[in-house]
A and B are shown apart, each in its own frame.
Chain A
Amino acid sequence: MNRSFLAVMLALAMPAFAQREDDDAPIPYGDDTTVDDEIPVKKKKKRQAAIREEDEEERAGEESLASLDDPNIGVGGDIFMGVALLDSSKAGVDPRYFFGVRFTWEFGRLIPDEYLREMFFADLTWTYAASKDGTNLVNVDTHLHNFTVAPALALPFGKSFMAAYVQVGAGFDYSYSVTTVDRTAVTLGGTKFLFQYGIGLRGRPAVIADGTVRIQFRIEVTRFVRGYMHDMYFGGGVGLIF
């Protein structure tokens, strides 16, 4: 056990030694060395200070490059569709087709850090589902329009273009129904607070080599809490992001 620990510590320490060798190697010594330069302690401190300065400059350069050299501005949109399991008034669920569009802003790109900037985005979404029930004489067309704003936290799979994400948002639902009784129609509209949460997979492969245009696609499960009704949406979407 102790031996293994020692081996690991030595292995970790080796690159540090190597670094020190490399650091020593390229620093030239002029012919006009002073007496002070020949004092090893002072020489060593001076060299270390120079290295620190170089490292800091390098880091600063890298940070600015991560934001300045990013080919994306981080805005885009997609269309999506799927199956909505609408909470049914009769208990259980009513499976219905749904579709929608959304605008995406990768606001994480405001963050200089190379990793964090890939982790955050937000959607402004409109989703539509409809149902029609009843008889020829009495029937009701119900249209559900969900409008939400939902930030998301994405966890990229290493350096790949795929990421898993969780999302929470809020907005409102506008329900519009047309009740027809013997060819006489009564319309009714109303809004309800909407809360959404969900998970999904998001891919952003580059369309062109420099990465300025990317396809974004998603597979997702989202739950909408529509007042006291709980709807589950299984869907997927595809679009572009710039």
Chain B
Amino acid sequence: MSRLRTLLVLALMVSCGPNPPAPVKIMALIPSESGTLETRQVELTTVGNVTTLKGDVVEFVGSTRVVLDSADPLQAGGIERLTDAQRYDVLVKDKGGDVRGHYVDRSGVLWPANFHTWNMVSAYYNFERAYAYFNDIYDGVDPKELRPMRVHYWADVRLNSDISLVDNALYLSFIKGFTITPFEKSQLTPLAMNIGVIGHETAHRVFNFKVLEDQGIHPVLGTWNLVPFNLLKSLDEGLADFHGFSVTCGEAAGCRPNFLGASLDDSRTVDFRNVGRNEACMDETTRQAFQNFSQSQWVSSPEMYKVGNFIAASLYQAGNRTGKMEVLQKALILAYDDESPSNPGLRQFIKNNVNTQANFTPENVVNIIVSHVTDPELKKELCSQFSSRMQLRCGNWPCIVDGLPSMLACPSTARRENYCTNLPQP
């Protein structure tokens, strides 16, 4: 009998991975002050099972296959008509399986023993840090939509193409999940290990939940076009870059406004997405694209990210110049979703203008953001920054556009600055 018990214990030891209770002391690859990465002991505070990397905040699932294909009979009727569960079932063709972290225990600290375990543990830590950031700036509101964040690790993702995405990290609203795709050319810091990138993707989830009503595909993404559509996409990207930068500030290595530089070797892209770029200004080429590009042209064009960068840079500069970055971050979250009839948030404004897209202008969007900032100095700086960098139709206040008062939230002290070349107004 005792032999049988011993055998049973041995069998259990053989089949189970380590599962210490949180917080788990573990090694991860964390940004170093020199700008690359270093091995450092961290604590995973929310992990329930460190082998499968599942916890309250993050859930990893490995090697899934996600296929968005309009030729798929199951998707032919339009995936926006499906429920979340149906959409997941139809689009995630291979449901994958549990990941299995491989560790060596050294004096109670778990050391990843292979590359994917390093990558996943670092990503888990980064998602936890991103969650902590949003938990702070939600300012007392429970960020329940971020629990848990499902991460499709090393996923085969095909979006209306026979070619799988590589070297990418995405938030896919239609499956409400994050995907980390395999490498192909990437030779720098893996995206999953880049805390700014994970912060960026988490921000997409927040934007989708709060602004786009947690819809897999919001109706306006199908019906709007030109400036309203292009602005909405760039706003999503720009705010995500700003929050991505903000998440990096929580690390010992300090704030990284150019966090993409650690992972992308395309210096041009890295440069025009640098949140701290002082030269982030609308030029005529970008403005023409912004006003005239169709949906498909815009989402496949770098101009989408450039306009996003004008938004991110305006926020960054305003927050830095006033020293009120945290006030700004909290105000942004308020601006996402505000039921107040006198001061509606972006969510409410979009909902009220589903059929009147012309109202979704840069001036109105900036006004919504500014109207949720209470600090007068920050308001003024935001209006000046946005006006200058995005070449808004308001350059001083009070402002009249098309015979109507515009950007009422901006104080009269705000004005367009000369760090950007003024473009002729249409």
Contacts and interface: CB of A to CB of B under 8 A. Distances in A.
Interface of A: 87-92, 131-140, 142, 175, 177, 179, 181-182, 186, 188-190, 193, 195, 225, 227-229
Contacts of A186: 39
Contacts of A134: 115, 119, 190
Contacts of B14: 193, 195, 225, 227-228
Given A91-B61, A137-B36, A175 B100 contact: no
B100 A87 contact: yes
Interface stretch (B130-138, B181-189, B228-236, B268-276): B181-189
Given A89-B99, A89-B120, A189 B104 contact: yes
Interface string B77-121: 000000000000000000011111110111000011111111110
A135 B114 contact: no
A228 to B, nearest CB: 4
Contact of B16 (A135, A177, A228): A228
B190 A181 contact: no
Nearest to A195: B14
B104 A175 contact: yes
27 contacts: A88-B100, A89-B100, A90-B153, A91-B99, A91-B153, A134-B190, A135-B187, A137-B37, A138-B29, A138-B115, A138-B118, A138-B190, A140-B118, A142-B113, A142-B114, A177-B114, A181-B29, A181-B36, A181-B37, A182-B36, A188-B106, A190-B111, A193-B13, A195-B14, A227-B14, A227-B102, A228-B51
B41 to A, nearest CB: 12
Nearest to B13: A193
B38 A181 contact: yes
B62 interface: yes
Contacts of B37: 137-138, 181-182
Given A91-B100, A181-B39, A228-B15, A139 B63 contact: no
Residue in B63, B96, B100, B113 whose Cβ sees the most chain A Cβ within 10 Å = B113
A136 to B, nearest CB: 4
Q: Is the interface of A mostly helix, strand, loop or mixed?
A: strand
A140 B115 contact: yes
A90 B62 contact: yes
Interface in B18-55: 29, 34, 36-39, 51
Contacts of B177: none
Contact of A228 (B100, B120, B186): B100
Contacts of A193: 13-14
Nearest to A93: B63
B62 A139 contact: no
A228 B15 CA distance: 5
B154 interface: yes
A10 to B, nearest CB: 52
A138 B97 CA distance: 25
B193 interface: yes
Contact of B116 (A89, A179, A189, A228): A89
A179 B193 contact: no
Contacts of A228: 14-17, 51, 100
Nearest to B39: A186
Contacts of A175: 102, 104, 113
A131 B188 CA distance: 19
B17 A227 contact: yes
A90 B36 contact: no
Nearest first, the 5 closest Cβ-Cβ pairs linking A and B are A91-B62, A190-B104, A133-B115, A140-B115, A89-B116
A175 B102 CA distance: 10
A91 B63 contact: yes
B116 A88 contact: yes
A131 B36 contact: no
A181 B14 CA distance: 32
A133 B116 contact: yes
A137 B34 CA distance: 14
Residue in A90, A140, A175 whose Cβ sees the most chain B Cβ within 10 Å = A90
A90 B99 contact: yes
A142 B38 CA distance: 19
B345 to A, nearest CB: 39
A90 B181 CA distance: 11
Given A134-B115, A181-B39, A228-B51, 11 more contacts: A89-B99, A89-B100, A135-B186, A175-B104, A188-B106, A188-B113, A189-B104, A227-B14, A227-B102, A228-B17, A228-B100
Nearest to A131: B114
Contact of A135 (B15, B116, B183): B183
